[in-house]
């Protein structure tokens, strides 16, 4: 097995490079992704190595970028779009939700839309308004879109390749606060199925569930809980639409308790949907209500207040204590 340690951003770069080497129909589009290599340097050197006909710097027009990608997919290309920041995706929202998501169904499956839309999302980078949103629930709510989010460099490397190979549109949510977090990447392993959850830490008392950047925070909370005598199992959802529920349900049947944590607001969220499904499908295994820890139901605050807004290990541990108290 070939292992290489790299940050999540470089793992994404390596995954896209591999996909471009394997398929000449794969091309990248986005604002400043070429010569600059993107704001977060995720596409660094790809234009140098593949040329400006496969790594395209676009105008600052998100709706136009997505619309162009739809046309390119119609004639056989596999575009990978970068939305520079999460809050900038909304000018393209109409193209994504009323066109891209519906075209395959509109053509009764005869027209495929192999488009990946990469969206850096979430907080913890001290940025200004429109740069720290968590809009994943909007897209997971839209039939016709697949929505995934890696939490580790290894997942980033393999999941971006799996997303690019999909014949359906994939919203690829990248936790930007983890871009610089390093981890081992198995360069010659087999890809884990794109739409699968997985247990990343075993435990027996409480199941902690989350996605994206929050998985690292859940692991931190689990380590602190263990020091206090509580054993927490951690499940990384990975795929937000569709959701692979079996690893989550199997864990809850073992622990009897669940806490879901996310950066996004609580109302109408991924965590709420998963909590409801768990209550429906594992009700008799639960020894306490499913609890949720989330961002507050307000617009994202100024950077100096993000530490109070975003869930941390302490807020997760408080929910663990409440769950155990039932």
> Which is more confidently placed, 300 or 202?
202
Residue 189: the pLDDT is 82
Q: Is the pLDDT of residue 261 over 90?
A: yes
Instruction: Average the pLDDT over 123-136 and give the result.
Output: 84
Which residues are identified as catalytic? 131
Number of H helices, E strands in the chain: 12, 14
Instruction: Average the pLDDT over 245-258 and give the result.
Output: 98
What does the alpha-carbon distance between residue 64 and residue 108 come to, in Å, rounded to a whole number? 25
**What angle (nearest 5°) sits at the alpha carbon of residue 38, between those of residues 37 and 39?**
130
Residue 239: the pLDDT is 98
Instruction: Average the pLDDT over 159-188 and give the result.
Output: 96
Residue 1: the pLDDT is 76
CATH code that applies to domain 198-325: 3.40.50.920
Instruction: Average the pLDDT over 44-72 and give the result.
Output: 97
Instruction: Average the pLDDT over 97-117 and give the result.
Output: 96
Residue 129: the pLDDT is 80
> For 202-221, what is each residue's pLDDT tens digit?
999 999 999 999 999 999 99
* Mean pLDDT, all residues of the chain: 96
Q: Is the pLDDT of residue 128 over 80?
A: no
Residue intervals in the chain for CATH 3.40.50.970: 3-186
Q: Is the pLDDT of residue 125 over 80?
A: no
Task: Report residue 49's pLDDT band, with 50, 70 and 90 as the boundaries.
Answer: very high
Rg (CA), the chain: 19
Residue intervals in the chain for CATH 3.40.50.920: 198-325
Q: Is the pLDDT of residue 4 over 90?
A: yes
Which class does domain 3-186 fall in? alpha beta
Residue 39: the pLDDT is 95
What does the alpha-carbon distance between residue 86 and residue 272 come to, in Å, rounded to a whole number? 21
> Which is more confidently placed, 119 or 191?
119
Give the Cβ contact number of residue 245 at 10 Å. Answer: 16
In percent, how much of the chain has pLDDT > 70? 100
In percent, how much of the chain has pLDDT > 90? 91
Q: Is the pLDDT of residue 64 over 80?
A: yes
> For 88-97, what is each residue's pLDDT tens digit?
999 999 999 9
Task: Report residue 157's pLDDT band, with 50, 70 and 90 as the boundaries.
Answer: very high
Task: Report residue 126's pLDDT band, with 50, 70 and 90 as the boundaries.
Answer: confident
- Helix (H) or strand (E) run with residue 201 in it: strand 198-201
């Amino acid at each position: 097995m070939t292992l290489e340690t790299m940050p999540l951003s470089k793992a994404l770069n390596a995954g896209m490079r591999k996909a471009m080497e394997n398929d000449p129909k794969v091309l990248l589009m986005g604002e400043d992704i070429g010569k600059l290599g993107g704001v977060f340097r995720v596409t660094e050197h790809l234009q140098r190595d593949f040329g400006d006909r496969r790594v395209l710097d676009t105008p600052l027009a998100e709706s136009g970028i997505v619309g162009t990608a739809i046309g390119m997919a119609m004639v056989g290309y596999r575009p990978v779009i970068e939305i520079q920041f999460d809050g900038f995706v909304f000018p393209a929202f109409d193209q994504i939700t009323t066109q891209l998501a519906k075209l395959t169904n509109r053509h009764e499956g005869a027209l495929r839309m192999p488009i990946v839309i990469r969206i850096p999302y979430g907080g913890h980078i001290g940025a200004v308004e429109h740069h720290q949103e968590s809009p994943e629930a909007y897209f997971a709510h839209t039939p016709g879109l697949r929505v995934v989010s890696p939490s580790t460099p290894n997942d980033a490397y393999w999941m971006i390749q799996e997303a690019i190979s999909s014949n359906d549109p994939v919203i690829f949510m990248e936790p930007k606060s983890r871009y610089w977090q390093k981890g081992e990447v198995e360069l010659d392993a087999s890809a884990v199925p794109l739409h699968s959850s997985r247990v990343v830490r075993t435990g027996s008392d409480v199941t902690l569930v989350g996605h994206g950047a929050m998985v690292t925070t859940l692991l931190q909370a689990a380590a602190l809980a263990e020091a206090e005598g509580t054993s927490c199992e951690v499940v990384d959802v990975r795929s937000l639409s569709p959701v692979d529920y079996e690893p989550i349900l199997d864990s809850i049947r073992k622990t009897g308790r669940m806490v879901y944590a996310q950066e996004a607001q609580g109302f109408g969220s991924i965590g709420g949907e998963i909590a409801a499904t768990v209550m429906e499908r594992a009700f008799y295994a639960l020894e306490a209500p499913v609890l949720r820890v989330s961002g507050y139901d307000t617009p994202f605050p100024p950077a100096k207040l993000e530490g109070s807004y975003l869930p941390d290990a302490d807020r997760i541990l408080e929910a663990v204590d409440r769950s155990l108290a039932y």
